Amino acid sequence: MRRDDRVEYELVFRSSYASVLRTAFLVLHDKGRAEEVTQEAFLRLYERWRKAIRYDHPVAWVRTVAVREAIRRAERERRQMVMELVDDRGADDRHRDLDLLDAVAALPPRQRAAVALYYLEDRPIDEIAVLMEVSSSTVKQHLFQARNRLGVALLEGVSGDGE
């Protein structure tokens, strides 16, 4: 990589790393895994820098890569967790206190990503659709389903506290 390209890449990296990391964290709810995803996304940007500098928004590209990988990892981990729960039928955590972050963390990965990007990152639906590679109506459906699940989970947490 040429020196000018390296300097330009470093500027993009320094100005956007924290924001991309925050987005990955909101999807994964784990700082270490979010750092891995973010670093991997920036490494891919670095490897493609000569092509990437022609993109209108290289930061949007790297954020998209990070969100997609975070969703993939979250979905994989959720499948593993479901299998572990099936193996451990005696565990009953219905009475544990639920706060909003716990409830969001329990959402399916795509719903969690939509909630994080829309409510916590304050991103418009059309941008979320691009990041998640789905239609705007699919993002709206993820948000609708997530709100319903959150409502149920939070109400169960409240009713469980009084027992």
Would you state the pLDDT for residue 75? 80
Reply yes or no on domain 1-90 having CATH 1.10.1740.
Answer: yes
How far, in Å, are 12, 47, 53 from residue 132 at the CA level? 22, 22, 22
* Dihedral pair phi/psi, residue 73, rounded to 5°: -65, -45
| Residue 150 predicted with pLDDT over 70 | yes
Distance CA 69, CA 77 (A): 12
The CA-based diameter of the chain, rounded to the nearest angstrom, is: 66
Reply yes or no on domain 92-163 having CATH 1.10.10.10.
Answer: yes
Residue spans per domain, the chain: 1-90, 92-163
User: Which tens digits make up the pLDDT trace of 93-137?
Assistant: 443 334 677 888 889 999 999 998 888 778 899 999 999 999 999
- Full 3-state SS string of 95-138: CCCCCHHHHHHCCCHHHHHHHHHHHHCCCCHHHHHHHHCCCHHH
Would you state the pLDDT for residue 68? 92
Where does the pLDDT of residue 145 fall: very low under 50, low under 70, confident under 90, or very high at 90 and above? Answer: very high
Would you state the pLDDT for residue 67? 94
User: Which tens digits make up the pLDDT trace of 54-93?
Assistant: 777 888 899 999 999 999 888 877 766 655 544 444 444 4
Q: Whole-structure pTM over 0.75, yes or no?
A: no
Would you state the pLDDT for residue 89? 42
